[in-house]
Amino acid sequence: MRNWRLESKGEMKVGLLWFDDDPARDLAQKVGRAARHYRQKFGRRPNVCYVHPSLLNGGSRRVGGVKVAPLPSVLRHHFWIGEEDGRHSSPKRARRSIPRP
């Protein structure tokens, strides 16, 4: 599990990379577990989760208050969950940072 901090326009600013390959859990359960962990760690609710496109069959969906959207760069069984710009507010410092170019 990794925490990433991005500084790019129109995208997630703080996110948590969650891994779950348990075949007994469906997509909603996996996103729900990732969202609970995010809330515990950052004290806020995530509003977006990016997943490998194969999990969504060409579309997007909502799980609770979280928009689940496809992103080809996300590996299978990984869930990149966090907050998009509109709800971002001074987060706790992430453990790992991606340097700005």
Question: What's the rounded Cα separation, in Å, for the pair 55 and 89?
Answer: 29
Tell me the pTM: 0.74
Say what the pLDDT of residue 13 is.
75
**Domain residue extents for the chain:** 2-86
Long-range contacts of 36-39 (CB under 8 A, 24+ apart): 37/1, 38/81, 38/82
Q: What is the pLDDT along the chain (101 residues), one digit of tens a residue?
A: 555 444 443 577 779 999 999 999 999 999 999 999 999 999 999 999 999 999 998 888 999 999 999 999 999 999 999 998 764 443 344 445 555 55
